[in-house]
Amino acid sequence: MNEFTLGVEEEFMVIDPVTRELKSHEQKIVDGAQKILEDQVKAEMHQAVVEVGTHICHNTTEARKEVTKLRRTVAGLAGDLGLRIGAAGTHPFSHWQHQLITDHPRYFEIVDEMQEAARSNLIFGLHVHVGIQSREMAIHIANQVRYFLPHVFALSANSPFWEGRNTGFKSFRTKVFDKFPRTGIPDHFSSIEEYDSYIKLLVKTNCIDNAKKIWWDIRVHPFFETIEFRICDCPMLINETMAFVALFQALCAKLYKLRLQNMNFITYSRALINENKWRAARYGIDGKMIDFGKQLEVNTRALILELLDFVDDVVDDLGCRDDLQYVHKILEHGTGADRQLEIYKQKENFIDVVDFITSQTLLGT
């Protein structure tokens, strides 16, 4: 039986508590963390970003402990340096032009190739790994689960502002990332062999040097026995992170169960799923998405409730019901983007929005 182990990666903003701008931590947070957490804290391309990653966790209870400990530890190390951390998909007003690139050959190589698309890619995401031991099963589940990605993405929307502007999107992070090649919803692959030959062709023709430069919203991981979900904005609250982790785990378990019963969820084209992704980025949970089966527009909230019903029969076996229940709280209180927008509406000041983000990031730590 597949175990559906979990790994969670979060990318945080490093913030100057005086100006509330993004600030380079000069790798000091990473250096300090390596003494306590070894390789669980990493540098990212921009020096104002710090990435944390859990060990392999067997359930959401273990993952929650690790996610909480990592936020607490990184916040403490930042505090010792006179800095703060914040969890959102974009910084409300900092400009990317002022941010330093981390001194590492891999990042210089990416900037050299992608130019301004890379330098402006000042965004913060959540990546969730779900363990699938068989690569054949992994590509099957990745194909099927693509349909549900916009639903979870809508719940995670947490980046309404960019460079001091209200963008009108609930998640502008994805619009920034769209400038990169090999992003977004992937195509359907008929087999793991088809996927592998696609990767080999890209390597052979110097498009990429390895499969980690596939930056899709979901990918069969090139080095681990996991499916990696990459579509979500970095959530403000630990409870939100854990709700999305539970949802991705439950989706994998449900689609695996159907496969064992010789049943499949209908596979839809990338072009159709992209329509829902666009709506999720623009409206979050307050818009409508397309129910392709009914060929109708349906309120996004109603589709999310249907999604919870769809996975309900595997949730107790996984032990993630408590974490999944928080989805109802998001539907009630709004997404991170909704709450950021509410603070801005009250104060009309981005400083207050940043302070709100940094305080929410540490709730529960």
Label residues 284-295 b or e (16+ Cβ within 10 Å = b).
bbbbbbbeeeee
pLDDT, tens digit, 9 for 90 and up, residues 282-321 = 999 999 999 998 999 999 999 999 999 999 999 999 999 9
Q: Is residue 346 part of a domain?
A: yes
Contact between 340 and 160 under an 8 Å Cβ cutoff? The reply is: yes
Phi, psi of 2 (to 5 degrees): -70, 140
Contact between 148 and 251 under an 8 Å Cβ cutoff? The reply is: yes
Q: Is residue 288 part of a domain?
A: yes
Q: Structurally, how many domains does the chain consist of?
A: 1
Give the range of the structural domain holding residue 210, as residue numbers without chain letter.
6-361
Binning the chain into helix, strand and coil, the percentages to the nearest 5 are 50, 15, 30
Averaged confidence pLDDT in the chain: 93
Residue 335 backbone zone (phi > 0: left; psi -120 to 50: alpha; other: beta) = beta
Find the radius of gyration of the CA atoms of the chain: 19
pLDDT, tens digit, 9 for 90 and up, residues 248-287 = 999 999 999 999 999 988 899 999 999 999 999 999 999 9
Nearest CA to 39 among 17, 27, 55? 55
Per-residue pLDDT at 70 exceeds 90: yes
Phi, psi of 125 (to 5 degrees): -125, 170
CATH of the domain at 59: 3.30.590.20
Q: Is residue 38 part of a domain?
A: yes
Q: Is residue 1 part of a domain?
A: no
pTM for the full model? 0.96
Which segment of 33-37, 188-192, 246-250, 308-312 scores lowest on mean pLDDT?
33-37
Which segment of 95-109, 114-128, 168-182, 219-233 scores lowest on mean pLDDT?
95-109
CA torsion, ordered 5, 6, 7, 10, to nearest 10 deg: 180
Per-residue pLDDT at 114 exceeds 80: no
Q: Which residue has the tokens 């990416």?
A: 110
Quote the pLDDT of residue 1: 61
Per-residue pLDDT at 9 exceeds 80: yes
Q: Is residue 309 part of a domain?
A: yes
**Token couple for 192:** 């793991």
